[in-house]
Amino acid sequence: MEMKEISSVAVLGAGTMGANIALSFAAHGIQVHLMDVSPKQLERGISTIRENAVQLLEHGLLTEEVDHIIARVTFVAALETAIAGVGLVLEVVPEIIEIKEQLFRKLESMTGPEVILASNTSTFVPSRLCSAFAHAETAGRFVVLHYWNPAHLIPLVEVVPHTKTAPTILRTVKAMLDCCDKQAVVLQKEIPGFLGNRLAFALQREAMRMVADGVAMPDDIDTVVRGGFGRRMPVTGIFGTADFGGLDVYLAVCDQVFPSLCNDSAAPDILKRLVNSGRLGMKTREGWSKYSECDIAEWQRRVTDDLVHFARSDLRREQGTPHPRSDR
């Protein structure tokens, strides 16, 4: 039995991720109940949605006025109000397993079998979160929807099922995400880190090892990425890059390079020393590099400009210019 089309959702958590996910839904005609237990966080969520909606409109990425979009978002502080009448409840609370488990135990008792339950976690596999449910039937309507930050500009959403997720749930959320112009990738099975984080952190692991071994400085490694294969990746991806270069060439490189790649199973000491000394990155103005307030503002501007550029390119392709990639 197919589930009904989702026309309203509850987003639980009005931080940066929750607010931008709510904006993405509202911009595509879906009614949103955005909930947070903190009144201040709700206020920040309202501000985030308005500021980013204005930005999207200025760049031609919205088709209607900002006030019309914001009118689809109801800001609430009570869980009962947030979940009333919605087809999907998406949890976007902090990545603390006890908080998530407590919330899903409540949602199990407060929602009917027609309501899809989902988590935006980037840390926990869905079977781990399902352990909070008292009934196996509830697990069948649960799935992970892993959005990427900033969720209103990055199109990817990883849809991660577990062994008990009903196929109808996957079809329903995939259709909803398609309507929101998201690039939804449905995993065949769960795996820690899902797809994106596993790929990203494999690269992080090798980069940190090369710094620790004195091969290169962090800035040099970043230059190699930005000026080299990072230029191709947005167009060709990983497997497209290999096909473009020739698989015989890639086979030879694999045989030569794979034996020397880092295969550490724990975080490197060089990273632990940075964290233990309080050098946490831009939030403390020092990590692998040092940052002034002007540096941080410039980084944020450049990231936003580039993501807007990609979003506009996606829009142009949707309007008639094909992507140079075959469907497989």
Per the model's pLDDT, the better-predicted residue between 172 and 324 turns out to be 172
pLDDT above 50: residue 326: no
- For the stretch 247-298, pLDDT in tens is 999 999 999 999 999 999 999 999 999 999 999 999 999 999 999 999 999 9
Cross-strand bridge partners of residue 118: 90, 143
Output the CATH code of domain 8-186.
3.40.50.720
Q: What are phi and psi of 21, to 5 degrees?
A: -65, -45
CA distance 37 to 18: 13
Token pair for 67: 């006030």
The arithmetic mean of pLDDT across residues 20-32, rounded, is 98
- For the stretch 110-150, pLDDT in tens is 999 999 999 999 999 999 999 999 999 999 999 999 999 99
Among candidates 247, 251, 228, which has minimal Cα distance to 239?
A: 247
| Predicted confidence band of residue 321 (pLDDT cuts 50, 70, 90) | low
CA distance 118 to 163: 15
Q: What is the mean pLDDT of the chain?
A: 95
Helix (H) / strand (E) element for 273: namely helix 269-276
The arithmetic mean of pLDDT across residues 162-185, rounded, is 97
| Predicted confidence band of residue 328 (pLDDT cuts 50, 70, 90) | very low
The arithmetic mean of pLDDT across residues 42-56, rounded, is 97
pLDDT above 60: residue 325: no
pLDDT for the residue numbered 155: 97
Angle at 82 between CA 178 and CA 64, to 5 degrees: 45
Q: Write down the domain spans for the chain.
A: 8-186
| Beta strands in 23-155, from DSSP E residues, in sequence order | 31-35, 73-76, 88-91, 116-119, 142-147
pLDDT above 70: residue 327: no
What's 99's DSSP letter?
H
Token pair for 215: 């091969």
| Predicted confidence band of residue 63 (pLDDT cuts 50, 70, 90) | confident
